[in-house]
Structure formats: C-alpha cells, structure tokens
C-alpha cells in the first residue's frame, strides 16, 4: 500500500531506468566520488510516496558495511515537499555524536544478538544527546529536484503526517565506495 506511512519500494533503480538516472545524476556522482575517493556503489534504493514517519535514527544501525562510516545517502525530492507531509527531519551536526555500540562492540543493530530494549534506548539517546548538545531538529522542505546528501551517522527520520492529503514523493539511495561489499548483498 503505497499510501501507508513506512511503505517503501526497494531498489527501484533496478527496474526503472529513470530512477537509475536520478540516483547517478552527474552532481551526485561527482560529489560522492570526491567524498569516497573511489568509484561509487549504489546498493540500496528506497522510493517513498508518503512520509515515512520513521523514528529518528542513524543509518549505521541498519545499513551494515564492514566499515560503517563508508556510507552516504542521497535523498531526492520528486516533488515540492509541503509542511505536514511527513517531511524529512534531521539533527544537523548529529553525525559527530559519540558512537552508540550495540552489545558494547557494534554500530549496527542485530535483532538476534541485541535486546529490543537496547535498540529503543539507542533511538531515545539520539534525541536526548542532540538536545543536550543544543542541536536543533531541522525539517527539510525541498523543491522538486533538490537533493540532500548525508553521512552515515546523521540522525534523521520522518516527521508525523498532519495532512493526509499530501504526498512526499522521494528517492533515497545508499552509496558506498565501489571497493566495499555491503551486507545488503
């Protein structure tokens, strides 16, 4: 149900040449090749029709790489995003917060290894620690075609949808250096 919050279509770039073209738009590709000093690997795509309403989180908790910080995401607005649509929210500078280590050793959550309470604790701590550092929660209200690129540990999520008539069409792509092998494979 594409109209339901948290619904996402995975890897649309595999099936739609237009999504692949957007994910690898020249400015995105050039910027990320400079960041990684390597070729690019797109290894997970997410298409949203509605706001995700996902809790504030860090991608490193769920997107597993051998080197967790070798991850960037691009978020492309497929339409002008309106307030109340479940717009993307983020804590600017939160990627500098100290690491949360699951089971005292891992940046990623594993439901078989880690207790659910620890996972909830990590989510709560992101908001608490950002507020303690005086980091404000920002909303991203882009115009169609605008792109936000963030590093692996930027704390971000989807705000609540307050106007159910609005969509928030977007395309997210997770990238790593071409020389890496994400667990996603």
Q: What percent of the chain has pLDDT over 90?
A: 92
Strands 88-91 and 40-48 come out as unpaired
Counting DSSP H helices and E strands in the chain, the numbers are 4, 8
Summarize the confidence of residues 100-128 as an average pLDDT. Answer: 96
Burial of 61 (0-12, 13-18, 19+ CB in 10 A): buried
Three-state secondary-structure class, residue 108? coil
pLDDT score for 185: 67
pLDDT score for 181: 86
Residue 166 near residue 85 (C-beta atoms within 8 A)? yes
Helix (H) or strand (E) holding 137: strand 137-139
Q: 37-83 pLDDT, tens per residue? A: 999 999 999 999 999 999 999 999 999 999 999 999 999 999 999 99
Rounded Cα distance, 50 and 47, in Å: 9
Rounded Cα distance, 1 and 155, in Å: 27
pLDDT score for 1: 81
Does the pLDDT value for residue 5 go beyond 80?
A: no
CA dist 15 → 21, 49, 94 (Å): 12, 17, 34
Q: 170-184 pLDDT, tens per residue? A: 999 999 999 998 987
Residue 130 near residue 74 (C-beta atoms within 8 A)? no
């Amino acid at each position: 149900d594409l109209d339901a919050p948290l619904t996402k279509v995975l890897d649309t770039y595999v099936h739609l040449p237009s999504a692949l073209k957007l994910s690898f738009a020249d400015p995105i590709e050039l910027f990320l090749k400079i960041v990684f000093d390597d070729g690019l690997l797109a290894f997970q795509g997410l298409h949203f029709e509605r706001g995700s309403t996902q809790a504030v989180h860090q991608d490193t908790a769920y997107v597993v790489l051998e080197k967790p910080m070798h991850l960037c995401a691009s978020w492309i607005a497929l339409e002008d995003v309106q307030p109340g649509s479940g717009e993307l929210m983020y804590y600017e500078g939160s990627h500098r917060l100290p690491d949360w280590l699951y089971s005292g050793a891992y940046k990623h959550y594993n439901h078989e290894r880690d207790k659910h309470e620890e996972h909830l604790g990590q989510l709560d701590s992101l908001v608490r620690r950002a507020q303690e550092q005086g980091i404000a929660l920002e909303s991203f209200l882009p115009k169609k075609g605008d792109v936000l690129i963030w590093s692996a540990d930027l704390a971000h999520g989807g705000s609540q949808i307050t106007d159910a008539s609005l969509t928030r069409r977007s395309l997210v792509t997770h990238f790593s250096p071409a020389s890496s092998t994400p667990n996603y494979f």
